[in-house]
């Protein structure tokens, strides 16, 4: 299989009007990745390193999105919408380059699996000329039926043209197809538009190939593989399927989840075995978590790297650039952004640590914040190893606190603190004996006067 060259034609020129969106349909996201990006990833996994992207509306945006994932693509615009056969021929210049295998997929089927594409390529390698990917829906009504005879696919019959016997067939056309590269263009050019819509249907190559005595077969793939996205409702349904797949994959790989249905992953989430995920956790893009870590409930994590045996949450938020070493602890209602947290450091509760470095075994008290932004620019805070920062402290960047230093609770730190020093940065406390009685009387009189008005 690896010795065979492959071109995948991704058809992504649909209008997507039912999405009711200014964004091209194929750029709507599932698990943080555009729909067409999921297709491109599956294609790459099946060895389809070369991609011909057929675009229409929002061509530039669609091209940019796919190029961010794969480099070896050519882009072809389908100016007129004259059917799937016409769409594939928009990529004629790429097909002419010469490939062993040509795979045709749709840019709006994000649940297509690499294994399905590999199965189709294996059939081509075994001598088939055309491989049609079919599925068995719970209700076949409305789908084209795959008519087989002696192991060969002899026709694809649309329901309106099917006989009563053919309508009872449960094996349906998924629209995805693989063709031998040396005969693909000739077959595509033989497709006619002699139908009510005057369009060129890719499915017609089945009967054309059969008339030439070529080998045409159908393979069965999971119905999820051919789910196309046309509305926001279908987008949400596909997201749910993708998330369930990912949850299953994670748990089989050794990740523990107490309530899997409440955990949501990104397309690129990486979690090692023996990580525990409590309920109601959301992962944005760019997260990796090492073994032994526990993510407590109601945490939101994005763009973060978490070392082994760490503890996160509950109600923690890790934003892009958060980098936590082994055994670090980020507790409830703590937010970390663009900060390195050293091994064994503790940020237990109610704190914001941004644009900072926190040394190993440091202890950051409740309510501590790094004041990193002056309204125009951001500045860095350096907190040393084994440093103790008392509760309700504000560290005004740029500032550094040396190793083994202490910062008294309630301090506003604006100057560097040397190692092993104790820093106070708060107003001097004064006590006025009996003043509380006077204040209560004054406030009570003010309240009465307001009621009398």
232 known member of a binding site = no
Query: DSSP label at 417?
Result: B
78 known member of a binding site = yes
143 known member of a binding site = no
Is 199 in contact with 160 (CB distance < 8 Å)?
no
13 known member of a binding site = yes
14 known member of a binding site = yes
319 known member of a binding site = yes
Is 52 in contact with 76 (CB distance < 8 Å)?
yes
83 known member of a binding site = yes
Catalytic entry in 38, 86, 267, 349? 349
350 known member of a binding site = no
Strands in 23-123 per DSSP E: 29-30, 33-34, 50-55, 73-77, 101-106
Dist. CA 106–CA 129, nearest whole Å: 20
User: The tokens 């040509």 sit on which residue?
Assistant: 102
Dist. CA 125–CA 402, nearest whole Å: 65
- Three-state secondary structure of 43-66: HHHCCCCEEEEEEECEHHHHHHHH
**Helix count and strand count (H, E) for the chain:** 10, 36
245 known member of a binding site = no
Dist. CA 167–CA 147, nearest whole Å: 10
376 known member of a binding site = no
48 known member of a binding site = no
363 known member of a binding site = yes
393 known member of a binding site = no
391 known member of a binding site = yes
Buried b (16+ CB within 10 A) or exposed e, 373-403: eeeeeeebbbbbbbbbbbbbbbbbbebbbbb
Active site residue 349: yes
- Which residue ranges are tagged as binding site for UDP-N-acetyl-alpha-D-glucosamine? 11-14, 25, 78, 83-84, 144, 158, 173, 230, 319, 337, 352, 363
Point out the residues that are catalytic. Answer: 349
- Which residue ranges are tagged as binding site? 11-14, 25, 78, 83-84, 108, 144, 158, 173, 230, 319, 337, 352, 363, 366, 372-373, 391, 409, 426
- Which residue ranges are tagged as binding site for Mg(2+)? 108, 230
- Which residue ranges are tagged as binding site for acetyl-CoA? 366, 372-373, 391, 409, 426
């Amino acid at each position: 299989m690896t010795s065979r060259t492959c071109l995948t034609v991704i058809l992504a020129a649909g209008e997507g009007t039912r999405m009711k969106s200014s964004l091209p349909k194929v750029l709507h996201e599932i698990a943080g990745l555009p729909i067409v990006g999921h297709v491109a990833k599956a294609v790459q996994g099946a060895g389809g390193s070369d991609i011909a992207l057929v675009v229409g509306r929002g061509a530039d945006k669609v091209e940019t999105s796919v190029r961010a994932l794969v480099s070896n693509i050519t882009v072809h615009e389908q100016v007129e919408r004259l059917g799937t056969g016409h769409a594939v021929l928009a990529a004629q210049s790429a097909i002419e380059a010469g490939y062993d295998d040509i795979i045709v997929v749709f840019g709006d089927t994000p649940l297509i699996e690499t294994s399905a594409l590999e199965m189709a390529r294996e059939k081509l390698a075994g001598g088939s000329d055309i491989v049609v990917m079919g599925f068995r829906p719970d209700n076949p009504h409305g789908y084209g039926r795959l008519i087989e005879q002696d192991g060969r696919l002899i026709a694809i019959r649309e329901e309106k043209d099917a006989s009563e016997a053919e309508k009872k067939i449960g094996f349906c056309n998924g629209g995805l197809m693989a063709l031998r590269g040396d005969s693909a263009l000739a077959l595509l050019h033989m497709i006619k538009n002699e139908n009510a819509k005057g369009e060129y249907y890719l499915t017609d190559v089945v009967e054309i190939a059969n008339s030439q005595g070529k080998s045409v077969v159908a393979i069965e793939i999971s119905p999820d593989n051919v789910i196309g996205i046309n509305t926001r409702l279908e987008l949400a349904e596909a997201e749910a399927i993708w998330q369930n797949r990912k949850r299953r994959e994670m748990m089989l790989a050794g990740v523990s989840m107490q309530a899997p249905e409440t955990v949501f992953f990104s397309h690129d989430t990486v979690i090692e075995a023996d990580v525990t995920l409590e309920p109601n956790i959301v992962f944005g893009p760019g997260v990796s978590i090492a073994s032994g870590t526990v993510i407590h409930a109601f945490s939101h994590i994005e763009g973060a790297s978490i070392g082994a045996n760490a503890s996160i949450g509950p109600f923690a938020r890790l934003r892009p650039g958060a980098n936590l070493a082994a055994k670090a602890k980020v507790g409830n209602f703590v937010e970390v952004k663009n900060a390195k947290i050293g091994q064994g450091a503790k940020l237990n509760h109610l704190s914001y640590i941004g644009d900072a470095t926190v040394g190993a075994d440091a202890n950051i008290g409740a309510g501590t914040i790094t004041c990193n932004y002056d309204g125009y620019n951001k500045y860095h805070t350096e907190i040393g190893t084994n440093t103790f920062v008392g509760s309700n402290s504000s560290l005004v960047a740029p500032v550094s606190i040396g190793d083994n230093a202490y910062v008294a609770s309630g301090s506003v730190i604006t100057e560097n603190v040397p190692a092993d020093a104790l820093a106070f940065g708060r107003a001097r406390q004064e006590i006025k004996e009996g003043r509380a009685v006077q204040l209560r009387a004054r406030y009570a009189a003010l309240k009465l006067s307001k009621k009398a008005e």
